[in-house]
Chain A
């Protein structure tokens, strides 16, 4: 019994969304102070939702690539929506004020939302930053891809497989995503103590 209980203590967080699951909309505060929902993007064909943060070196390594994804795909109907899920009690550099600073400094053209209660990260089953969920909007919002941005965090120029770009291109072409799930190295989300 004790073993069973301790096994539970180490159980994984609720698994969250899998590819093909329907996504519930959310409402989170953007760095410009406004509340943002997916429903606000009337003409979007989908979303590149990226759980991201200020402090993770892996996130920093992907910062420019995330901006480039937004530049390339927002016009085509797939804007980037970055969501910071880290508890600012544990990670001071991820407070809302620090997010505002980062967005200004890096001139973020995309939404950078504060998941203050971590409820959205839990619903999605995000585990780390950066962690990408591509959502396809048809009759419903459906998860089309979960994973990493590309296969080389260290060097963008050396990246061979651009998983997110490929997935969005396939969705735009009306095809199924050929590689809908990949592993994403990154900083574990700083969960608030339960």
Chain B
């Protein structure tokens, strides 16, 4: 019996690690996703667990997403730049009950990849990119959003 209990615990721990595993994406892959066609407006929010203003603005984005099911939201974590512990990000997003997609940008030297994502980006966090593949419009911002600002920002690509 004890054996089965141990087995069960092992299996469930393996399962839960699986469930938490976040996708690691290269900058080139992310660039392709940003440029890909489609029907829906996509919001890419660049953040990290160590970035306090990023963490602060996340609920704003989550609320926007709930209110606008027609828009896709992706949180792109830059945690790997400072800390190789990927499980930390998964634990964090679980604890904060983040429902939007979370991916890990798997890149080193920022100078080699930031321009692939957005030329105007100096590297400061948080940063947000909104694209509308239907009309090709995109807007970028590298400041923390305050309550109510996100609606107007996303409207710029409509």
- Interface: B72 (CB within 8 A): no
Which chain A residues border B123 with CB–CB below 8 Å?
Answer: 127-128, 148, 183-186
Interface string of A160-194 (1 = CB under 8 A from B): 11010000000000000000001111111111000
Is B144 a contact of A188 with CB atoms below 8 Å?
yes
State how many residues of chain A have any CB contact under 8 Å with chain B.
32
Are B83 and A151 interface neighbours, CB within 8 A?
Answer: no
User: With a CB–CB cut-off of 8 A, which chain B residues contact A154?
Assistant: 81-84
Q: Are the C-beta atoms of A188 and B124 separated by less than 8 Å?
A: yes
CB atoms of B152 and A151 under 8 A apart: no
Cα-based distance from A182 to B83 in the complex (angstroms): 21
Decide yes or no whether A20 CB sits under 8 A from chain B.
Answer: no
Q: Evaluate whether A10 and B124 lie within 8 angstroms (CB atoms) in the complex, with A148-B111, A182-B111, A190-B53 already known.
A: no
List which A124-162 residues lie within 8 A (CB) of chain B. 127-128, 131, 147-148, 151-154, 160-161
Which residue of the partner chain, among B50, B122, B139, B153, contacts A58 with CB atoms under 8 Å? B50
Q: Which residues, 70 to 100 on A, are CB-close (under 8 Å) to B?
A: none
* Bound CA–CA A61/B79 (angstroms): 13
The CA-CA distance from A61 to B110 in the complex, in Å, is: 15
Q: Which of A7, A9, A152 contacts B108 (CB 8 A)?
A: A152
Contact present for A151 and B110 (CB under 8 Å) = yes
Pair A183/B110 contact, Cβ less than 8 Å = yes
Contact A185:B156 (CB < 8 A) given known A148-B111, A152-B109, A190-B53: no
Asked if B22 CB lies within 8 Å of chain A CBs, one says: no
Q: 1/0 per position for B6-45, CB-CB distance to A under 8 A?
A: 0000000000000000000000000000000000000000
Would you call B114 and A188 a contact (CB within 8 A)? no
**Apart from A57-B51, A152-B108, what 6 extra A-B contacts exist at CB < 8 Å?**
A55-B52, A127-B123, A151-B109, A185-B125, A188-B126, A188-B142
Instruction: Give me 29 A-to-B residue pairs in the complex whose CB atoms sit less than 8 angstroms apart, sorted by A's number.
Output: A3-B155, A3-B156, A10-B156, A55-B52, A57-B50, A58-B50, A127-B122, A127-B124, A127-B142, A128-B125, A131-B122, A147-B111, A148-B111, A151-B111, A163-B111, A182-B111, A183-B110, A183-B122, A184-B110, A184-B124, A185-B124, A186-B123, A186-B124, A187-B124, A188-B51, A188-B126, A188-B142, A188-B143, A189-B124
B residues apposed to A, CB below 8 Å: 50-53, 78, 81-84, 108-112, 114-115, 120-127, 139, 141-144, 149, 152-153, 155-156
